[in-house]
Amino acid sequence: MVIMGLGNPGPRYERTRHNVGYHVTDFIMQEPPVRFRRRLFKSYLHSSIPGETDRRSLLMVRFTGFMNRSGEIIPALMHRYGVTAEDIIVIVDNMDLQPGVCRLKKGGGNAGHNGLKSLIRYMGDGAFYRLYIGIGRPSPGIDVVDYVLGEPGGTEALDITKTCLRAAASIKELAYKPFTEVMEELNRREP
């Protein structure tokens, strides 16, 4: 399976709500420790967590450009690794879920999310899996862009970090558990 965490590159965006996809992939790669590598002349980083005899391997991918252009690497990934949309899990922020909540689902629209719009455009449909990490909605009077590109603080930051850790643990379970089982367990668990 290809696990693609969405985010924006660079220190300016590193701790923002919009980069929770990057955070989840970072947690997945902590143990056993693996690092991203760049394919020559490619605009993405990748790292594989190899499967054993009875396990499926997981390929972690991070686009090196901005989130709203994430789909640009999809044709190359699909060709190189022989995967279809149904082999891809995209990890992305979701304002309709409160911090501390995450949901794994198959297919759907773009929900106004520019990263998802780009992926759907390049895949031709929305049949890929999405792991939504809740970031909540901004308070009245706060601009949506400022909110998603802002850094959470206090208990909100703690809730988002706990959710990212829980999501990372669930993704790692996909190496040896059926997808539906992992999805049901993750979606039923609350913080």
**Catalytic residue ranges:** 18
Closest CA to 73 of 62, 83, 82: 62
In the chain, where does DSSP find H-type helix? 20-28, 74-81, 114-123, 144-148, 154-173, 179-188
* Measured distance CA(136)–CA(153) in Å, rounded: 13
Angle between helix 114-123 and 74-81 (nearest 10): 50
Amino acid at 100: G
Q: Is 17 helix (H, G, I), strand (E, B) or coil?
A: helix
Residue 126 token pair: 């929305």
* Measured distance CA(112)–CA(120) in Å, rounded: 12
* Measured distance CA(19)–CA(21) in Å, rounded: 5
Write phi, then psi, for 18 (nearest 5 degrees).
-65, -15
